[in-house]
Amino acid sequence: MRIVDALLWGEQELKLAQVENPRWDADLLLGYILKLRREQLYLGRDQLLAPDQEVAFAQVIERRVKREPLQYILRHQEFMGLDFYVDKRVLIPRADSEILVEKVLELKRAWSPTKDGSPPAIVDLCTGSGALAISVAHYWPEARVVGTDLSPNALAVARLNSERLGVRVEWREGDFLAPIRGQSWDIIISNPPYIAEGEYTELAPEIAEEPRMAFLGGVDGLDFYRELAREAPALLKASGRIIVEIGWQQSVPVTRFLQELGLTTEVFQDLGGRDRVVFARCE
C-alpha cells in the first residue's frame, strides 16, 4: 500500500465512524507511524509502506474509530508553545485554557517585587497534566509555582512533563484545597471540574476516555467554585488574585461567589467568544 492509498483508506474509515476532521487525523496518525511530518507524507505519497507499518497504521486507525482521543494515541499535546506528554491518566489540555495562562502573564509584566524580595507564590489547583502550572513556571521563572491534584497518577504525568521541559514546579497531592491550607498565595489558578452531572453524558464520545473526575463538578457543576470562594479569604494575600476557567454559562454564579467576598471580578472570553475565564482580585 502506498502512502497516498493509506491516507485515503484511513480518512474513509474515520469518516464512516463520524470522527471530526478525518483527513487531518489520518495524516497525523500515519505520520506518527512513519515518523514523518505531514508535508513529508505528501512529498513521498507514492512510497510503499512495509507490512508492519500497514498493520501499525490499521491499529491506530481502529483506536481512533473507537473514539480514543487523538492526543492519547500520539501521546502529546501542544499548549502555550510547549509539548506536553498526555495519556489516559490526565485531562487533555485545550487551547481555550491558554487564556488563563495569558492573564497570569499579564500580571507578571506589572508585578512589583515585595519588600522582602520573595517571589510571587502561585498555585495551580487540579493541575492534571501540569499544563497550567508548567506554562506559568516556564514563562515566569522567577515565580514559586505549586501544582496540586487529588490523583497520584495525574501528578506522575505532571512530574514527567516538568522534567521533560526542564521547569521547576512543586507538586502536592491532596483533595482540592487541602494541600495549600495554612499558606497565603499571591495568585490561585485552576481549571477545576465544572461539568454538571446531568450534562456529562451529552458530551462528545471522546470525553468518556478522559478521567471522569476531571469533569464532574457536582449536580450543577459549581461545587469547586463554592469551596474556593468559601476559603479564599484565608488563602489569599492582601493583594491576591484568583483566576479560574469556567463553563461558558457559569460566569454569573462564579462571579457572584467571588464578589460576595468583596473581590472585583472580570470575565474573559475564549476563542469562540464564550465566557471562559473569571479573574478576581482583592481591592
d(CA 268, CA 251): 9
Q: Does the annotation list 194 as a binding residue?
A: yes
Q: How far apart are CA 104 and CA 113, in angstroms?
A: 16
**Is 153 assigned a ligand-binding role in the annotation?**
no
User: What DSSP line would sit under 39-55, residue for residue?
Assistant: HHHHHTTTPBPPHHHHH
Q: What's the N-to-C CA distance of the chain in angstroms? A: 66
Residue 268 marked ligand-binding: no
The verdict on whether residue 191 carries a ligand-binding annotation is yes
Cα–Cα distances in angstroms (integers) from residue 138 to residues 80, 131, 135, in the given order? 10, 10, 5
CA-closest candidate to residue 230, choices 194, 186, 264, 260: 260
Strand pairing of 144-149 and 170-173? parallel
The response to whether 21 counts as a known ligand-binding position is no
Question: Could you give the C-alpha distances from 152 to 89, 128, 155, 167, 283, in angstroms and in order?
Answer: 9, 10, 5, 19, 36
Which residues, 6 or more positions from 66, have their beta carbon under 8 angstroms from its beta carbon? none
Taking alpha carbons only, the member of 30, 186, 5, 174 closest to residue 104 is: 186
> Which residues of 89-154 form beta strands (DSSP E)?
121-125, 144-149
What count of Cα atoms within 13 Å lies in the side-chain half-sphere of residue 116?
3
To the question of whether residue 193 is assigned a binding role by annotation, the answer is: yes
Residues tagged in the binding site annotation for S-adenosyl-L-methionine: 149, 176, 191
Residues tagged in the binding site annotation: 149, 176, 191-194
Residues tagged in the binding site annotation for substrate: 191-194
